[in-house]
Each structure stands twice: as C-alpha cells, then as structure tokens.
Amino acid sequence: MPFNPNLEDLTDYPFEALRALLNPVTPRVNDEIIAMSLGEPQHQPPPLLAETLAAHAHEWNRYPPMAGTPELRQAIVDWLTRRYNLATGALDPERHVAALAGTKEGLYLFASLVVPRRKAGRKPVVLCPNPYYLVYNGAATMAGADPVFLDATRDNQFLPDLDAIPAETLERCALFYLCSPANPQGTIASLDYLKKAIRLAREYDFVLAADECYAEIYDQVPPPGALEACQGLGGGFDNVVVFHSLSKRSSAAGLRSGFVAGDPTLVGQFKRLRDFGGCQVPVPVQAAAAALWRDEAHVIENRARYRRKFDLAEAAFAGRYGFYRPAGGFFLWLDVGDGEQAALRLWRDAAIRVLPGGYTARAANAGVNPGAEYIRLAIAHDEATLDAAFARIRRVL
Ligand SMILES: Cc1ncc(COP(=O)(O)O)c(C=O)c1O
C-alpha cells in the first residue's frame, strides 16, 4: 500500500520508546507505581469548567464555528492584552485570533501552512529546539521540510543559541518553533531573546511560532511573550504567532482547548486551511474556555501549588543530579549521567516511571544527544506522592 514517504522520517513517539524500555521489566518492589513520565496535570480544573459546560448543555446540537465563537475570541484577546500589557485594541478578535482544539493539533497543522516547496532554492528548514516537543519534528517532517535541531544545553542556559545559526540555514528557514517556558528544561526566554528571534524571522522571512503553553506555570517572574516582544519592537505582529492552551494553565488537558494568535495574515490563512483540516471545538467547550480565560483566581492557586512542589523538589534534590529550580513549567530535568539506565533502575527498583531525556532529543549535532544524560520528571502529583517519589529516587540513584 503506498504511504506518504515522509512517514519514514518520523521518529518513534517517546512514549512508545519508553514502553519498549520499561514494559519487559517487572519492578522488584511492591511499592505503588508512580508515573512521572507524562506531563499530565493532576490537579482538578476549577468548578467553573463543569458549571459552564452544564449551562451550555443545550448547545451540543450546534456545529461549532471553526475560528471560535465571538465570546471566546474576545475573552482570549482580553486575556492576552492583560497578561502581556498590550495596547488596548492592538488585537482584533476577528483578525488576530483563532480557537484550537488544544495546541497540539494547531502546532502540527501550522507547518503545512507555512512550509513552501522551496526556500532560497532549496528544501525548506524548520528550526526546532533540541530537546523538543515531538510534534515540532513530526509537523516539519510531514510538511516536507528538513527539521534542524538547535541544541539547548546547560552551556547555553538551555535555550537555542540564536547567534550560532548559520545564515545559510536561516535563508532556508520557513518556520521556527520556540518553546518558552521550555519543555523539558523550564527555561524562560527573555524579552530581548524573543526580540532577537523576531528580528531574525523578519530579516530572513520565516515565521516564529512561539509555543507558550506553559506560560502560566512559573516560579517567580511571569514569562514574557512573543506578542509583547512584537509590541516592543514595532512592526505589528508580522511573522509571529503564539500558541496557548488551557491544558496546563487550568489543568484542563481533557477539555482540548487552546488558541493561536498573532500576525493577521498568517491567522487568516490558517483559518482558511483549518476549514479543510482543522479540529472544531464544541460550542459548550468554547463557552467553558471563555470562562476559564476570564478567571485568574484558579490560575494563581494552581501556580502556588506547583511552587510548593518545587520547594519539595529543591529540598530533596538540591546539590544532587545537577538540580536547578526551573523558572517555568512543571518538569525537573535531572542530570543523572545516563538517562536510560536511570529510568530503568527507577522502574525496576522503585516502581517510578520517568522519561529518559534522550527520548525527547536527537543526536543531531556532532552526534551528541543533548538529553542523553538527563531524566525528565513531571512533578504533577500531590505533595505526599511526590515526597514518597523523591525519597525513592534518592534511595535508588
Ligand atoms: C511544549 C508543549 N507544547 C504543546 C503541548 C500540547 O498541549 P495541548 O495540546 O494539550 O494544548 C504540550 C503538551 O504536553 C507541550 O508539552
């Protein structure tokens, strides 16, 4: 049967690789299994979600507007304006925003919008941080581009070094996926860094897609955003889109609700494409999403709960495994020497599942996988479970 040949270049999804590594092994301990491998929020979303869904239960009969109801788009614009100190009226709900069924599908489909057949006379390039969220690579590959991986290591404060990208690569670049706060390292790109990335996008005529889905889970300082950087630079929102989600902000991963916002030409064309292949968000879900974007109280509480978890992690791991307190996100990125071996030992001897860092990265530059020495732990469980997990980890590693 003929398949799209680009499929052959898709790497294994990391959780497939994790199953292959761990499932043949049975833990030697009777402790309860603790899965810290998946970045799934464990807090409950606020009651507002279920209440709003119930209040809109008569609207399940309606076909949802693909780009989002006017109420949802207005709530998103109001939130973006508040959160990033944008000038009132800078964003128009009609032109600058579109609803998504979670950011995953939007990030994926976006590459097929902006990857041309050729750029600078050659096969186009999509820039991805390394380690990276697997969807960036999948989207780039299936859109017919060459993914180019920019290592984000301790040496460059876990952010791709923008000065090190060769001009020839920038000329071929159609799209740059940038993640801040970064999954897995939790690094926050500064406003200056974002401005530099935007200047490059405009100079070399590519699109900066800023994945900001962890923007509301931070330790001390609210992460700046790419739209805010655009405002500081001038030039409108040209060449820039941001992706946001309720999955982490409101612990509502199951709601499947996010949005894309930015350059009105890109958003307009994306809406056109989405009319063919996008995922619609049911009207009651859009109503719940609008209510969640309008509410900050639950977000503040959620953030405070993650802070307490990072306090526990710091108390358990400070001075070990290269521990640092991440500025954002909800992952620990621990340097354990050999991530795969550590994941195996933690599973076999402590019934804890973690993700070997190498599974979220590629040996792209000089044959070195920048995640190979690390494990990624989502610190999403309740505090008692985390305490138990941290004690087991210290015992085993
Ligand atoms: C970096 C990053 N981007 C995007 C997503 C997608 O989130 P969602 O589709 O739930 O909005 C995730 C989910 O884990 C993620 O880690």
| pLDDT per residue as tens, the chain (397 positions) | 899 999 998 877 889 999 999 999 999 999 999 999 998 888 899 999 999 999 999 999 999 999 999 999 999 999 999 999 999 999 999 999 999 999 999 999 999 999 999 999 999 999 999 999 999 999 999 999 999 999 999 999 999 999 999 999 999 999 999 999 999 999 999 999 999 999 999 999 999 999 999 999 999 999 999 999 999 998 899 999 999 999 999 999 999 999 999 999 999 999 999 999 999 999 999 999 999 999 999 999 999 999 999 999 999 999 999 999 999 999 999 999 999 999 999 999 999 999 999 999 999 988 999 999 999 999 999 999 999 999 999 999 9
3-state class (DSSP) for residue 329: coil
CA distances (Å), origin 99, targets 53, 256, 267, 292, 347: 17, 10, 10, 14, 39
3-state class (DSSP) for residue 132: coil
Mutate to test the pocket of ligand 1, among 40, 103, 257, 330 (most ligand atoms within 8 A of CB): 103
| Lookup: tokens for 384 | 């008692």
Q: Which of 20, 13, 263, 279 is nearest to 138 (CA)?
A: 13
248 touches ligand 1 (CB under 6 Å): no
Phi, psi for 356 (deg, rounded to 5): -60, 130
Which residue has the least CA distance to atom 15 on ligand 1? 133
Is pTM beyond 0.75? Reply is yes
Alpha carbon of 122 to ligand 1 centroid (Å): 31
3-state class (DSSP) for residue 239: coil
Q: Are strands 97-100 and 331-335 parallel, antiparallel or unpaired?
A: unpaired
Ligand 1 atom showing the smallest separation from residue 179 Cα: 1
Mutate to test the pocket of ligand 1, among 245, 256, 333, 377 (most ligand atoms within 8 A of CB): 245
Half-sphere exposure of 116 (CA within 13 A, CB side): 12
Q: Are strands 352-353 and 34-35 parallel, antiparallel or unpaired?
A: parallel
Cβ neighbours, 10 Å, residue 32: 10
